Structure 1
């Protein structure tokens, strides 16, 4: 019994010692604490207008990128979003004109043909980007609402997700054509297509009836010819906007990185211009940027991911601090690439 007692005491001492080295302390002196970080994976979800399939790139290590494909019933698709909590990827189908969700997205084998698990109604005419705020999904539609090209307009379709379906709550009509959209809290940033402008709708989801709604603010982003894609990272207050330049050219595209974005946006009055000196521009022949239509941003590595439509590419750029004619660190073929969404686990 004495031997057993000593063994128990020794085991208890070992357990206590192990706990000391693996637990956080309330003391100021944490020199003995060993923090083992969780392993992370970084995935890029993409849509395209060539076959409507979903391509998922594992970009955890940009020197060893792997890809898998989910085959959908769509033939064309645009905006894309991934919900890590349910492992469901959503994309906007331009062939079925509806929002569609696909479950078990990252566990299915590449080449799997997937059925729609979360279905929406076919309400739209020419859908583009999707922005998500909790269970509310907003899709920008680029079609001409009144049929008069001299009066540009667009629509924002606001869907509510419940269970395995989407229901259309209401539609907001804008006085300009739309492309990229993204939420910053309750505010919605919307690209004004065919211009270098950005529109801001404060408290956007409070617009809960069908109506024509003017933006709270509209500004010009200096240096951009025609913007399409936008993303915003609230952790670092960084916005990235793409510039397709001349839509007929496959060589004159670029993107702009804007640090401390909210303060610069707040300092720019309605109808004002956000100076190019407050931005970093990446463009040039090395970039392979012709018509960059969507963008994602990894704040931990300061990497910009681009869906490049004209040249059919998924591109990534790092070391973006100086801007200029950068060579992409990732250059993968994807015909008619249309949208990207980054998820870091």
Structure 2
């Protein structure tokens, strides 16, 4: 596999080893020196781990044939994916992955959750609770699984009244993309407010000016990054995507009333042919490095892209600092410590 300058010295500049930052907003002061970006694929269910400090990659062959949504747990050196497929549709956890040091490794699944999913779209984790957004024609659900004693149990199923895609915990609140729209929704105190099966509406929904169709999201350091897949079926589907960077997110989002619009003047939109953004389905933001990693599904058949200095981008366009081919790339997760 060709790896195109995933080194922190070339891409991130200030990738200091002083904190742990991931896409579920957990931050810990540590100094072990790990910076790994995990990527899943629709094409084969494999997981690729990019070591951002050594510029190396490991490809893990899983038992899944398609995956969308991933989380890494340092407690048992495991990653969990939302496996998709006619005979799977469950969470799968693979433990002690770092014991395998080869550039390619075949894994046997260690924990398999209940086969409750139908069309998993994203995975967000809060403590022992693993939440999967699931989007089908007639059902839009948040499946809440609890991981305990080496197994997953289905804790509750939450039906919502809009199509789901990306989800993200910010403290106790769960943010969710309203698929097929330019809207972002939030469920406040999601787990404690919904202790059992329920049908609910979002606490708040806000339109995001400039976006055609929201898809991926990530939050870190009070900055929210959203992706826009635009008109996925038009003639420019592989170049019409964008990312939106919203600094000081909490105050800006709170200032917008339910049903109203977050103005483009309160965001940075990065788009254009030079970005290679067409169908950016998932995203990770690293506030410490001010860098965005993007799972770009359409352009070139699939790419993992990285952009630096995004919160100070005044041009509205950019050329990726990193451009790696990954067929069918579907989701990302960054683990640092």
Q: TM-score, normalised on structure 2?
A: 0.86
Q: Tell me the residue number matched to 1:221.
A: 208
Q: Contact 2:58 / 2:105 at 8 angstroms: preserved in 1?
A: no
How far apart are the structure 2 equivalents of 1:214 and 1:208? 15
Instruction: Point out the structure with max Rg over C-alpha.
Output: 1
For 1:310, which of 295, 298, 301 is the aligned residue? 298
Which 4+ stretches in 1 moved above 6 angstroms?
A: none
Q: Tell me the residue number matched to 1:338.
A: 330
For 2:137, which of 139, 144, 148 is the aligned residue? 144
Q: Tell me the residue number matched to 1:245.
A: 230
How many aligned residue pairs are there? 297
Q: Contact 2:163 / 2:179 at 8 angstroms: preserved in 1?
A: yes
Shift of 1:210: 1.6
Q: Contact 1:253 / 1:289 at 8 angstroms: preserved in 2?
A: yes
Which has the higher mean CA deviation after the structures are superposed, 321-330 or 244-253?
321-330
For 2:93, which of 75, 98, 101 is the aligned residue? 101
How far apart are the structure 2 equivalents of 1:193 and 1:263? 24
How far apart are the structure 2 equivalents of 1:306 and 1:328? 10
Q: 1:265-276 residue pairs with structure 2 within 5 A?
A: 265-276=253-264
Q: Contact 1:119 / 1:164 at 8 angstroms: preserved in 2?
A: no
Shift of 1:208: 2.0
Q: 1:5-84 residue pairs with structure 2 within 5 A?
A: 38=31, 40-60=33-53, 65-84=55-74
- Answer yes or no: is 1:118 the counterpart of 2:111: yes
Structure 1: gaps spanning 5 or more residues? 1-36, 146-152
Structure 2: gaps spanning 5 or more residues? 1-29
Q: Tell me the residue number matched to 2:219.
A: 232
Q: Tell me the residue number matched to 2:274.
A: 286
Shift of 1:107: 3.1
For 1:193, which of 179, 190, 208 is the aligned residue? 179
1:97-148 CA deviation, whole Å, 9 max, x = no partner?
Answer: 0011111123312322111112201101100100000000000001123xxx
1:304-340 CA deviation, whole Å, 9 max, x = no partner?
Answer: 0000111200000002212522000110000111000
How far apart are the structure 2 equivalents of 1:59 and 1:245? 30
How far apart are the structure 2 equivalents of 1:310 and 1:215? 30
Q: Contact 2:67 / 2:82 at 8 angstroms: preserved in 1?
A: yes
Q: Contact 2:112 / 2:152 at 8 angstroms: preserved in 1?
A: yes
Aligned residue for 1:265, secondary structure, equals helix
Q: Tell me the residue number matched to 1:4.
A: none
Residues 315 and 196 of structure 1: CA distance in aligned 2, closer, same or farther (over 3 Å): same
The root-mean-square deviation of aligned C-alpha atoms, in Å, is 1.3
Shift of 1:67: 0.8
* Structure showing greater relative contact order (alpha-carbon pairs closer than 8 Å, 6 or more residues apart): 2
Aligned residue for 1:263, secondary structure, equals helix
- Answer yes or no: is 1:209 the counterpart of 2:196: yes
